[in-house]
Structure 1
Amino acid sequence: MDKNKLEVSAKDANNSPTANATYKAIPESEYLEEPVSDQALARLNSHAKNHNNAPEADGAHEKMLPEDDKLSHTVKIIPSTGSPEKKADGFTLDIKPSVVVGMGKEELMKYANDPFWVRLRWFLFICFWLLWAAMLIGAILIIIAAPKCAPPEPKTWWEEGPLTEVNALITADELKTLKSRGFKGVIADWPLDSLQTVDDSPDFQSLLKKAKDAGIEIIVGIEPGTSTLHLNDSEAKDDAYVNYYIWRNHAKGNTTESPNNWLTPDDVSAWKYSDVRKQFYYAPFGKPWLNYRDPKVKEEFSRVITKFLDAGARGLRLTRAPYLLVDPDFADENVGDVGNAAVGQYNFYSHHKTKDQPDLGSLLKSWRDIVKNKTEDGLLMLREDLDNLQSYKVNVSLSIDLPRHSQVFNDKLTSGIQIKKAIDSAQQILEGRWALWESSNTGLDRDVIDIIMFMMPGTSLVPLNHTVNSELLSFRKSPSIMYGSFDTYAVANDSTFAFIRLVQRLTLDDLTRICCFMFVCVAN
């Protein structure tokens, strides 16, 4: 017998082989310090032979080893160091059976070459790459089709400012000087009747030409509500002008008593009697008031606007626009927040019937559309401060530009907390929009007022003879002033007013940190 190999064949009760055990002698150098004697090997073979020939009385091996199971044994002879009952003349026989699970190579090759499985593998392979390519193309299309983060829209010349008011007779050199001092535009009041056109005033035509040569924009100030141009025709009940003004009979036919309790700011009746027409006409500020519910009046003033714009004007400022429309039912005014006012005084009433009517926004929008169509970057603004913006909206869009506010810097505001409250109130009324700021405060230094006004979100209207600091004008062009947030504070025991202008720009690192943070939040 080869001393390097020992084979043992195991058979079941029917003398059929159930297991093949191969015993390989491990080289002596791996586990013995001394060679194994022939007698020791003979005894080991004897033990193995007795083990193979030992009957299994209970037939347990037939129950535990089905015919289709294949069992292999690994036999290892090691020096015996355990208890005496495990020793076999100094050696221990360690038999470790292991069950082979799965198919062999020959069985696997049957499926590997089977046409059905070949086609299935190719089908899954192609589907994987098609889906991967579809996801890649989809991601690219999403990136291309996604709306881009557009940069903020550049501010117009009237949003940058500052603006000032001038006389219609100002010279060309004076206009050039204003331009060099940083003014973007000037406001010049129209000196004639509101229904007369620019063709009727050579002086105003000259002003528009001088402003164009100087490179400075002109805003025409006009009062659209009042006109006497067609009063005589309307009194005579000319068909073309019969409803040009607001005419009203007294309910009782009385020629001496006004139709209702509407007053002028001078505490007198807003109605005047016409001996020609035998009716009252509405004159809230002492002059006959145009009826802008008549399409003819609206159309004529639209022609006036168009003439100004065609001649070179870049915008309009309307005076007393909140009073353009009145209550169509001519109901009496209700008592308002009277304060110290007495009965019969203008401030005794709320003026809800003669001011800020619900359809005022549509009227102003029609004129603003004309300005935008003629100039693209022109503006329509009002001269008065606004108590609210609701009447000046069509749906949610504001029908005017630069809503004005001048009460922030009046003489009564000197402490920090007072200025903060006034500015916060104005921001709330104007809904945070880009506004026109004007100051009449003589209690604060003009330079201090400039610093606040020019740093606020809005345009400054400053006096004609005032020189604005050039560094302040330059700093105003920064993104934080043009586009940034605006937060106000009262510090030092409310004695000092402070504010912060901040524009937030995200860098790639900022976006990366935000994405990582979002991923962590979702993962958790």
Structure 2
Amino acid sequence: MDKNKLEVSAKDANNSPTANATYKAIPESEYLEEPVSDQALARLNSHAKNHNNAPEADGAHEKMLPEDDKLSHTVKIIPSTGSPEKKADGFTLDIKPSVVVGMGKEELMKYANDPFWVRLRWFLFICFWLLWAAMLIGAILIIIAAPKCAPPEPKTWWEEGPLTEVNALITADELKTLKSRGFKGVIADWPLDSLQTVDDSPDFQSLLKKAKDAGIEIIVGIEPGTSTLHLNDSEAKDDAYVNYYIWRNHAKGNTTESPNNWLTPDDVSAWKYSDVRKQFYYAPFGKPWLNYRDPKVKEEFSRVITKFLDAGARGLRLTRAPYLLVDPDFADENVGDVGNAAVGQYNFYSHHKTKDQPDLGSLLKSWRDIVKNKTEDGLLMLREDLDNLQSYKVNVSLSIDLPRHSQVFNDKLTSGIQIKKAIDSAQQILEGRWALWKSSNTGLDRDVVDIIMFMMPGTSLVPLNHTVNSELLSFRKSPSIMYGSFDTYAVANDSTFAFIRVAPSNPGYIVALNPTEDMVKVNFPQDTKASVQDEVTVQFVSNNYNVTDIEVK
């Protein structure tokens, strides 16, 4: 230690931080311009020692700054050349805190205007806004590209319904009346041979014109399977018509035994013998049956369809379409679910060889395509109820519209559970598709049947002289009826049938039918386990509903 110089720092003798100052010798040349006497240094060291050893009773020096903020100090001792007030035995004590200070304004401005830092700041500024814009554009693209909940496809006029059947001679005023009563379309049967065109019937041409003027749609009912128009030419083996019908040689070389065991519903052979051609022709319903495996037959009927559509028809209803094609090998029918039928009766056989053939869907699709190409919202439908839909599909697409079911209600359905089973069975056969409901019921009032059919998913086919309730038609406009779910229940100990129709964000509907003569009470939230509110609004009741304390709103 140089005895002539001292440096003071805020550390104690044990080298630990403290508020008391200690002194450390530093080189003389750094602060002293003139030599210092040994006596002066001794006095300063004695003064510093006394200062370090002085007791701090109240610890005030510890309270000056927080522990983390204690400052270190540098003490410089320089000769005193000033006034006497500043002298201390010939020396001045100059204590400066050792605090780290950032750049000053002048130093900072040097970097602020430096070209490198200017370019760097502009680069970061531009990058920030480019990234911000990219994120904004990305968010917009995600919103645009994200899959949306597409709105349901609007229902066509024939899906809204109802429909009815009319005679081809109906008047224009009658058609206008049907339109005003809420009917969307009418079905009129073609009165001539199935291979004759609309040009051959002025009456039918007039009907199509009257329907157009009345603003109601016409569906032409026709039986494509049977025709006698070219039978004579086919019997004569005319080259153009030789295969127009289904011909088979007789069995065992005689004219009395039919080619196989195929029958008509009248329990007689489905084959008739031609003395001209010396062969049997197929006549499953008493008339010669067209061979739709011959492309010429298919093309001619396609022209018939096109003529109807060009004249103003909006759809076709085919009669006996399930029987249009037969087994190409002409194998015998197998025994079916015979019930009470005996051998030789129509119901004794399964009819798998003469009905619902695998390639039937392709044939019907070719005609449906013509309808769709000629009309924006036309339809191709069948007159018969279907046992299944498999034969009417091409891949997974159904080749017909409005598959029909007419056996939902009958006089044997006397309880809620029976009605539920009948409707569930129909829905299963129809695969939940939009169906055509026709009632053959004799056990329920007509208005009761209307309520059920109009609120179910499907179109109603009602009698011509039946008045359609306008309130029921207004309910059908609800998305819950047009697009909503359909859940059926048997409640109140299976005595009452009910179903619920509801679509998201729309009021739901509960329809309940008590086919018994007993009064029953139903707790719908409890009995259906469905999300039903405790309070509902009664909007419609049948004519014979006899509970007087229910107010219809």
TM class, shorter-length: 0.7 to 0.9
Q: Is the 8 A contact 1:291 1:297 kept in 2?
A: yes
Offset at 1:287? 0.9
Distance (Å, rounded) in 1 between the aligned partners of 2:189 and 2:343:
36
1:67-103 per-residue CA deviation (whole Å, 9 max, x = no partner) reads 9999926999999999999999999999999998999
Distance (Å, rounded) in 2 between the aligned partners of 1:421 and 1:265:
29
Q: Is the 8 A contact 2:273 2:281 kept in 1?
A: yes
Structure 2 counterpart SS, 1:103: coil
Structure 2 counterpart SS, 1:186: strand
Moved more, 126-135 or 348-357: 126-135
Q: Is the 8 A contact 2:499 2:512 kept in 1?
A: no
Distance (Å, rounded) in 2 between the aligned partners of 1:453 and 1:32:
116
Moved more, 370-379 or 448-457: 370-379
Taking structure 1 as reference, are residues 417 and 18 closer, same or farther at Cα in structure 2, changes over 3 Å only? closer
Q: Is the 8 A contact 1:12 1:62 kept in 2?
A: no
Moved more, 61-70 or 14-23: 61-70
Distance (Å, rounded) in 1 between the aligned partners of 2:321 and 2:372:
19
1:131-154 per-residue CA deviation (whole Å, 9 max, x = no partner) reads 222121111123234455443222
Q: Is the 8 A contact 2:80 2:86 kept in 1?
A: yes
Taking structure 1 as reference, are residues 46 and 266 closer, same or farther at Cα in structure 2, changes over 3 Å only? farther
Taking structure 1 as reference, are residues 18 and 31 closer, same or farther at Cα in structure 2, changes over 3 Å only? closer
Gaps of 5+ in 2: 502-509, 523-551
Distance (Å, rounded) in 1 between the aligned partners of 2:426 and 2:343:
30
1:362-391 per-residue CA deviation (whole Å, 9 max, x = no partner) reads 111111111122221111100000111111
Offset at 1:329? 1.5
Structure 1 counterpart SS, 2:268: coil
Moved more, 118-127 or 466-475: 118-127
Q: Is the 8 A contact 2:222 2:316 kept in 1?
A: yes
Q: Is the 8 A contact 1:28 1:36 kept in 2?
A: no
Offset at 1:29? 39
TM-score of the superposition, structure 1-length normalised? 0.76
Distance (Å, rounded) in 2 between the aligned partners of 1:391 and 1:25:
111
Offset at 1:64? 27
Q: Is the 8 A contact 1:262 1:333 kept in 2?
A: yes
Distance (Å, rounded) in 1 between the aligned partners of 2:177 and 2:89:
123
1:462-483 per-residue CA deviation (whole Å, 9 max, x = no partner) reads 1111112121122222221111
Structure 1 counterpart SS, 2:316: strand
1:283-313 per-residue CA deviation (whole Å, 9 max, x = no partner) reads 1111111000111101111111111112221
Structure 1 counterpart SS, 2:425: helix
1:417-454 per-residue CA deviation (whole Å, 9 max, x = no partner) reads 11111111111111111110000111101111000000
Q: Is the 8 A contact 2:11 2:22 kept in 1?
A: no
Offset at 1:346? 1.7
Offset at 1:129? 3.2
Taking structure 1 as reference, are residues 30 and 106 closer, same or farther at Cα in structure 2, changes over 3 Å only? closer
Taking structure 1 as reference, are residues 63 and 114 closer, same or farther at Cα in structure 2, changes over 3 Å only? farther
Taking structure 1 as reference, are residues 70 and 328 closer, same or farther at Cα in structure 2, changes over 3 Å only? same
The answer for the alignment partner of 2:548 in structure 1 is none
Corresponding position: 1:464 with 2:464: yes
Within 5 A, what are the aligned runs for 1:21-420?
Answer: 46=46, 48-49=48-49, 72=72, 123-146=123-146, 148-250=148-250, 252-420=252-420
Offset at 1:115? 7.3
Taking structure 1 as reference, are residues 137 and 510 closer, same or farther at Cα in structure 2, changes over 3 Å only? farther
Taking structure 1 as reference, are residues 22 and 271 closer, same or farther at Cα in structure 2, changes over 3 Å only? farther
Q: Is the 8 A contact 1:28 1:34 kept in 2?
A: no
1:152-206 per-residue CA deviation (whole Å, 9 max, x = no partner) reads 2222111111111111122222222212211111111111111111122222222
Taking structure 1 as reference, are residues 326 and 17 closer, same or farther at Cα in structure 2, changes over 3 Å only? closer
Taking structure 1 as reference, are residues 255 and 450 closer, same or farther at Cα in structure 2, changes over 3 Å only? same
Moved more, 230-239 or 501-510: 501-510
Offset at 1:27? 32
Taking structure 1 as reference, are residues 168 and 21 closer, same or farther at Cα in structure 2, changes over 3 Å only? same
Distance (Å, rounded) in 1 between the aligned partners of 2:521 and 2:17:
70
TM-score of the superposition, structure 2-length normalised? 0.73
Offset at 1:280? 1.3
Q: Is the 8 A contact 2:34 2:79 kept in 1?
A: no
Taking structure 1 as reference, are residues 78 and 342 closer, same or farther at Cα in structure 2, changes over 3 Å only? farther
The answer for the alignment partner of 1:520 in structure 2 is none
Moved more, 27-36 or 345-354: 27-36
Distance (Å, rounded) in 1 between the aligned partners of 2:19 and 2:320:
113
Distance (Å, rounded) in 2 between the aligned partners of 1:437 and 1:388:
16
Taking structure 1 as reference, are residues 235 and 15 closer, same or farther at Cα in structure 2, changes over 3 Å only? closer
Distance (Å, rounded) in 2 between the aligned partners of 1:34 and 1:335:
138
Distance (Å, rounded) in 2 between the aligned partners of 1:340 and 1:221:
34
RMSD: 12.0
Taking structure 1 as reference, are residues 362 and 82 closer, same or farther at Cα in structure 2, changes over 3 Å only? farther
Taking structure 1 as reference, are residues 348 and 510 closer, same or farther at Cα in structure 2, changes over 3 Å only? closer
Taking structure 1 as reference, are residues 156 and 20 closer, same or farther at Cα in structure 2, changes over 3 Å only? same
Moved more, 345-354 or 77-86: 77-86
Q: Is the 8 A contact 1:22 1:74 kept in 2?
A: no
Moved more, 283-292 or 475-484: 475-484
Q: Is the 8 A contact 1:382 1:403 kept in 2?
A: yes
Offset at 1:278? 1.2
Q: Is the 8 A contact 1:8 1:52 kept in 2?
A: no
Distance (Å, rounded) in 1 between the aligned partners of 2:292 and 2:121:
81
Taking structure 1 as reference, are residues 61 and 12 closer, same or farther at Cα in structure 2, changes over 3 Å only? farther
Moved more, 250-259 or 74-83: 74-83
Q: Is the 8 A contact 1:70 1:99 kept in 2?
A: no
Offset at 1:38? 25
Distance (Å, rounded) in 1 between the aligned partners of 2:513 and 2:391:
36
Distance (Å, rounded) in 2 between the aligned partners of 1:111 and 1:487:
77
Taking structure 1 as reference, are residues 72 and 313 closer, same or farther at Cα in structure 2, changes over 3 Å only? same
Which of the pair is proportionally richer in helix?
1
Over the matched positions of the two proteins, sequence identity in percent amounts to 97
Q: Is the 8 A contact 2:251 2:258 kept in 1?
A: no
Taking structure 1 as reference, are residues 29 and 461 closer, same or farther at Cα in structure 2, changes over 3 Å only? farther
Q: Is the 8 A contact 1:188 1:220 kept in 2?
A: yes
Distance (Å, rounded) in 2 between the aligned partners of 1:216 and 1:58:
108
Structure 2 counterpart SS, 1:510: coil
The answer for the alignment partner of 1:3 in structure 2 is 3
1:32-72 per-residue CA deviation (whole Å, 9 max, x = no partner) reads 99999999999998584379899999999999999999992
Taking structure 1 as reference, are residues 109 and 337 closer, same or farther at Cα in structure 2, changes over 3 Å only? farther
Distance (Å, rounded) in 2 between the aligned partners of 1:491 and 1:499:
10
Offset at 1:490? 1.1
1:8-33 per-residue CA deviation (whole Å, 9 max, x = no partner) reads 35999999999995899999999999
Moved more, 86-95 or 384-393: 86-95
Moved more, 324-333 or 93-102: 93-102
Taking structure 1 as reference, are residues 233 and 507 closer, same or farther at Cα in structure 2, changes over 3 Å only? closer
Q: Is the 8 A contact 1:454 1:460 kept in 2?
A: yes
